[in-house]
Amino acid sequence: MTQRNSQEANNTHISIGEFAKLVQTTKRRLQFYDKKELLLTKREANGYRYYSLNDLFVYNFIYLLSSLGIPLREIKKLLTSRSNLNNSFKLHAHAIQKHIAELLFREKKLHEYIKNIAEGSIITGSVEKIEAVTLYVKRYRGTYDEIGSFINNFISLLPTSIGQSLYVLYPNGEYDIKQTDIVIGVKASGVNIETELEKLTLPVHSIFKYAHLGPARELIYFWSELEKLAKYKGFQEDTKFSYQYEVYIKANYNGYLESYEHVTEICLPIIL
């Protein structure tokens, strides 16, 4: 566009109604953009509000970025400086990839639940005999949603970064929604720890377990499902065994995992 044409474009007055028709939107949306200072109307001395032809390019740029999922607060910054446009596109491409991965995970879980319902529950369980294992543990008291902070505290007591599974045990298989005893531990084999941690040995026992893929906050529901499934399959809970427990196989200790990448086994002691 030549300088003359550019000046003519800037001098062309387009009413809000006409502009809305040109860009195929509503007056309300334009007023919203004006309020958010994304696309400001000009005003003549008599108070008449209007747009220029150049505002068409601005609106279409806003529309393009909005269609890509970029929030308006970020679009506002990009309107004043497009130097960060490439970086913004990369960040949002990554966010879309993450969202797709989450959707695929949810789809997979739904198909699993549909398949499992025919067996009496939305989950499946497996039986396993566990050999005696000695743990370094620390005892806590609190609520289920505090387990994450308890785990972080426990890891801080270890001499090296955690490289193996963590155990979260519930004494006597009891969980009180307000306050409960929680024991967190790690296998003692190959780990030399001289701290306030104590040793605890779990004897040989059999478990009915469910391996959960997803965030730990969902486990409290699946405990109930596992217990119902065990009864459905005719297993008797081993009430003489001192603990029900969870084994955090793959967890977000360092913030590197997405919630749907977590792997946790919930283990219900049974009599075989």
CATH number at residue 216: 3.20.80.10
Residue with tokens 């701290």: 195
CA diameter of the chain: 91
- Shared domain for 43 and 178, answered yes or no, is no
On whether residue 44 sits in a domain, the answer given is yes
| 238 within a domain of the structure (yes/no) | yes
Asked which of 143-157, 172-186, 225-239 is least confident by mean pLDDT, the reply is 172-186
Q: Is residue 99 part of a domain?
A: no
Same domain flag for 263 and 150 = yes
67 and 155, same domain (yes or no): no
Residues 72, 205 share a domain? no
On whether both 153 and 243 belong to a single domain, the answer is yes
Which one has a higher pLDDT value, 263 or 174? 263
Q: Is the pLDDT assigned to residue 6 strictly greater than 50?
A: no
Structural domain tally of the chain? 2
- Same domain for 261 and 148, yes or no, is yes
% the chain with pLDDT above 70: 87
Q: Given this model, what pLDDT does residue 3 score?
A: 42
Range of the domain at 155: 126-271
Interval 164-173: pLDDT, tens: 789 999 987 6
The verdict on 136 and 234 lying in the same domain is yes
Query: Does residue 9 carry a pLDDT above 70?
Result: no
pLDDT of residue 11: 55
115, part of any domain: no
For residues 123-142, one letter each, b for 16 or more C-beta atoms within 10 angstroms of the residue's C-beta and e for the rest, the string is bebeeeeeeebebbbbebee
Same domain, 48 and 138: no
Mean pLDDT along residues 26-33? 93
Gap between the Cα atoms of 264 and 202, Å rounded: 19
Identify whether residues 73 and 131 lie together within a single domain: no
- In this structure, is residue 23 part of a structural domain? yes
Identify the sign of the CA torsion 42, 48, 49, 52: negative
Task: State residue 145's pLDDT score.
Answer: 80
Residues 263 and 147 in one domain: yes
Band (254; pLDDT cuts 50, 70, 90): low
Specify the 3-state DSSP secondary structure of 202: strand
Answer whether residue 59 is part of any domain: yes
CB 209 within 8 A of CB 123: no
Q: What is the pLDDT of residues 120-154, one digit of tens each?
A: 789 999 999 999 999 999 999 988 888 888 988 88
Per-residue confidence (pLDDT) for residue 218, from 0 to 100: 85
Residue with the bigger pLDDT between 130 and 218: it is 130
| 2 pLDDT tier (thresholds 50, 70, 90) | very low
> Which one of 15, 48, 80 terminates a domain?
80
Do 136 and 257 share a domain, yes or no? yes
Same domain, 130 and 217: yes
Q: Which residue has the higher pLDDT, 216 or 248?
A: 248
Are 188 and 134 within 8 A, CB to CB?
yes
- Average pLDDT over all residues of the chain: 85
Decide if 91 is inside a domain. Answer: no
Which tens digit of pLDDT belongs to each residue from 88-122?
899 889 989 988 988 999 999 999 899 888 877 89
Return the number of other C-beta atoms located less than 10 Å from residue 184's C-beta: 24
Domain holding 59: CATH number? 1.10.1660.10
Output b/e per residue, 158-175; b: 16+ Cβ within 10 A.
beeebeebbbbbbeebee
Distance of CA 228 to the CA centre of its chain: 27
Across the strands, what pairs with 184?
Answer: 138, 168
- What's residue 180's pLDDT? 85
Give the angle 198-199-203 at the CA atoms, nearest 5°. 150
